[in-house]
Amino acid sequence: MNPTFKEAFTIKGLAGEHKLQGTIGIHGAKNAALKALAAAVLFDGPVTLDNIPDTNDVGLMIDILSKLGAKVTKQSVHTIVIDPSSISHTAIDTELAQNMRSSVVLTGPLLARFGNVTFPAPGGCVIGTRPIDLFIEGYKKMGAVVDLIDDRTYSISAPTGIQSTELFFNIQSVGGTETLMMAAVLGKGKTVLKNCAMEPEIVNVAEWLNAAGAHITGAGTTTIEIEGTGGKLLNSKQSYTAIPDRIEAGSFLILGALCAKSLTIKNCQPKHVESVINVLRDSGVEMDIGVDTITVRGGKKIKPFNIRTHEYPGFPTDLQAPIVTYLTQVEGESMIFETIFEGRFKYAEDLSKMGAHITIMNPREILIKGPTPLVQLPEMDELRAHDIRAGFAIVLAALVGTGSFKVHNVHLIDRGYEKLEEQLTALGAEVKRIPV
Ligand code: EPU
């Protein structure tokens, strides 16, 4: 998997008109698929994973698994078979892991199955400090020995297996919850995890693991209990299907409210984006909600609103940047309080260059005064994606803007959105992927 770094999007702005129209289908959830790929290590043979989005991060996780010796077969664009039986070592590749924070999730299943793992402090999106202390402390509580081999490489071993324990997460962490849950699946006795994250992706993976022989209760609540199998591997006949990507759905909901006459989002789970539906609806956006569809009609007069990002089921941090782009077009003042990650406002500078009135009050709060037209920049002053979601926010800004725009660093958008330009083109947007 080799992301193409030298690509940009060219986007013709709609000058604020609500012109886009049509239907788009939501892909499988990247943040569930990545964890399922890691969890495949716990299985007794080749296991099939379905509805896996074809994004760069999924490609990276496949590369990391392959480097460990797992046999990975792509049966079709969205179906992957992983055979963990051939894993020959447990040292996660440094270079690959540096590019993706969720590589750290693999440490749980590797430790559970092989009793040891070596991994570099992970990299990933540039969205502030993202420590791994919860993982390290969790492993210690589970009876593992953690060594820092050099400044950046951890070696963890649990030669007698993961021991039963009870632990409380000081911060609700999606990756921490998933990783320690997976580590405990093959362990001895009962593990109780408290103050867990409740994201639907955790439930999706836990339900699959249970169907394959794991004993997990409480996923989707703040207390998860895992009765370890005592080393018995999970049944590879049980395939996995990723739930629809709620962040992709939420992104398109915001896009629809901003740029579409009428946009139907299909193959989604509306209840997973209730926080987004709620703020948009309260502010005046018209929507029809079906069982697995949402139709959004833009063009109405919208009231400004304030948001605090929150763990699920609150307003997701991953939609903070897109909603700020949206609020630049709404009359009045809106405030956003980013509670999950510090320093996730890098994209705001680009929006300001385009004409937005945005004040970063502090690393967590941002004030938006709208509406302001967003305009084409001088040739030398081009836009770029800072991370996956900030990238989507900039694409959104270009779409609503006046003029022609070039957005660089498309490989970062590709980490989380599958062929975004094709989805947008199908709705009537003029978006092209070009080499630069
Ligand atoms: N945290 C710690 N110590 C740890 C782990 C986390 O302090 O050991 C802190 C983080 O710094 C952050 C908070 O806990 O302030 C919550 O982070 P969390 O661990 O929940 O985030 P994550 O698991 O690393 C996942 C998603 C992110 C999403 C966050 C929050 C995946 C692969 N990534 O990250 O998604 O923003 O949860 O919902 O599941 C994206 O898709 O673009 C993306 C960044």
Residue 205: which CATH number?
Answer: 3.65.10.10
State whether 22 and 68 are in the same domain: no
Q: Which domain holds residue 316?
A: 7-27+244-435
State whether 218 and 248 are in the same domain: no
Domain end residue (candidates: 241, 258, 287)? 241
CA distances from 245 to 158, 249, 379 (A): 34, 6, 35
Q: What is the pLDDT of residue 271?
A: 98
Q: How far apart are CA 20 and CA 23, in angstroms?
A: 10
Q: What is the pLDDT of residue 380?
A: 67
Q: How far apart are CA 340 and CA 37, in angstroms?
A: 25
Positions marked active-site: 125
3-state helix, strand, coil in the chain (%, to 5): 35, 30, 40
State whether 23 and 42 are in the same domain: no
Residues near ligand 1 (Cβ within 6 A) = 31, 34, 101-102, 125, 130-135, 171, 173-176, 197, 247, 316-318, 340-341, 388-389, 416
Q: Is residue 163 part of a domain?
A: yes
State whether 174 and 266 are in the same domain: no
State whether 249 and 261 are in the same domain: yes
Q: Ligand 1: distance of its center to the CA of 253 in Å?
A: 23
Lowest-confidence region among 222-226, 265-269, 331-335, 382-386:
382-386
Rg of the chain over all Cα atoms, to the nearest angstrom = 22
Q: 202 falls in which pLDDT band (50, 70, 90)?
A: very high
- Half-sphere CA count of 346, side-chain side, radius 13 A: 18
State whether 230 and 360 are in the same domain: no
State whether 290 and 416 are in the same domain: yes
Q: Ligand 1: distance of its center to the CA of 157 in Å?
A: 24
Q: Give burial (CB, 10 Å; 0-12/13-18/19+) of 163.
A: middle
List pLDDT tens digits, range 126-158: 445 568 999 999 999 999 999 988 877 899 999
Asked if the model's pLDDT at residue 1 lies above 50, the reply is no
State whether 268 and 396 are in the same domain: yes
Please give the number of the atom of ligand 1 that sits closest to the Cα of 34: 32
Q: How many residues does the chain have?
A: 436
Nearest CA to ligand 1 atom 6: 173
Contacts of 139 (CB under 8 A, 6+ apart): 107, 111, 146, 156, 158, 180, 183
* Number of compact structural domains in the chain: 2
- Asked if 88 and 81 count as a contact pair (C-beta separation under 8 A), the reply is no
Asked if the model's pLDDT at residue 39 lies above 70, the reply is yes
Question: Hey, which of 55, 171, 178, 346 would you mutate to test ligand 1's pocket, going by the most ligand atoms within 8 Å of its Cβ?
Answer: 171
List pLDDT tens digits, range 58-84: 999 999 999 999 999 999 999 999 999
State whether 266 and 323 are in the same domain: yes
Domain end residue (candidates: 241, 274, 309)? 241
Q: What is the pLDDT of residue 125?
A: 43
Q: Are strands 307-308 and 332-337 parallel, antiparallel or unpaired?
A: parallel
- Per-position b or e across 43-65, b if 16+ CB within 10 A of its CB: beebbbbbbbbbbbbbbbbbbbb
State whether 372 and 401 are in the same domain: yes
Q: Ligand 1: distance of its center to the CA of 92 in Å?
A: 20
Q: Of 129 and 324, which is predicted with more confidence? A: 324
List pLDDT tens digits, range 356-388: 999 999 999 999 999 999 999 887 678 999 999
**pTM summary value:** 0.97
Q: Is residue 185 part of a domain?
A: yes
In this structure, what token pair is assigned to residue 61? 């996780």
Q: Ligand 1: distance of its center to the CA of 173 in Å?
A: 6
List pLDDT tens digits, range 79-106: 999 999 999 999 999 999 988 888 999 9
Question: Hey, which of 130, 167, 204 would you mutate to test ligand 1's pocket, going by the most ligand atoms within 8 Å of its Cβ?
Answer: 130
Please give the number of the atom of ligand 1 that sits closest to the Cα of 317: 36
Q: How far apart are CA 429 and CA 421, in angstroms?
A: 9
Average pLDDT over residues 267-296: 97
Q: Is residue 97 part of a domain?
A: yes
State whether 292 and 208 are in the same domain: no
Q: Ligand 1: distance of its center to the CA of 163 in Å?
A: 25
List pLDDT tens digits, range 335-350: 999 999 988 999 999 9
Bond from prior residue into 270 cis (ω within 30 degrees of 0): no
Please give the number of the atom of ligand 1 that sits closest to the Cα of 102: 32
State whether 38 and 16 are in the same domain: no
Q: Is residue 2 part of a domain?
A: no
Alpha helix (H) ranges present in 245-319?
246-259, 274-282
Domain end residue (candidates: 241, 257, 282)? 241
Q: Is residue 1 part of a domain?
A: no
Q: Is residue 76 part of a domain?
A: yes
